[in-house]
Amino acid sequence: MAKTSSFQMRINPTVKKRVEDIYADCGMTLTDAINIFIQQSINVRGLPFLVTQSSKEALHEQAAALLMAELKKGENSVHSDEDWISEEEMLTELGLGR
């Protein structure tokens, strides 16, 4: 059996509870998740995700641009007859046909 080592860390109790709940939903413990993070760091020889220094404003701009693009898609679909179906077709698709 492989030897193990332990380490301690400080974490905000609220944050710890939230992340434990997230990992529990995935069927793992916080320790499992940390071990996966560490192993993946070894595999990629660095952090296993991209670290950027995006500003708060840049993130807001990205979110706003994404929202506007989705709104535009919705608006375009309203003005396009190809996406429209009759009430009868809709009810049939939903299994509520008359």
> Other CB atoms closer than 10 Å to residue 61's CB: what's the count?
12
Task: Pick 84 or 36 by higher pLDDT.
Answer: 36
Shared domain check, 85 and 64: yes
Q: What is the total count of domains within the chain?
A: 2
Asked whether residue 8 is domain-assigned, the answer is: no
- pLDDT for position 96: 86
Position 26 pLDDT exceeds 90: yes
- pLDDT for position 98: 65
Which residue range forms the structural domain that includes residue 20?
13-44
Asked whether residue 49 is domain-assigned, the answer is: no
Query: In which band, very low, low, confident or very high, does the pLDDT at 15 lie, cut at 50, 70 and 90?
Result: very high
Rounded CA separation 90/29 (Å) = 44
Shared domain check, 69 and 40: no
Shared domain check, 62 and 84: yes
For the chain, the average pLDDT equals 87
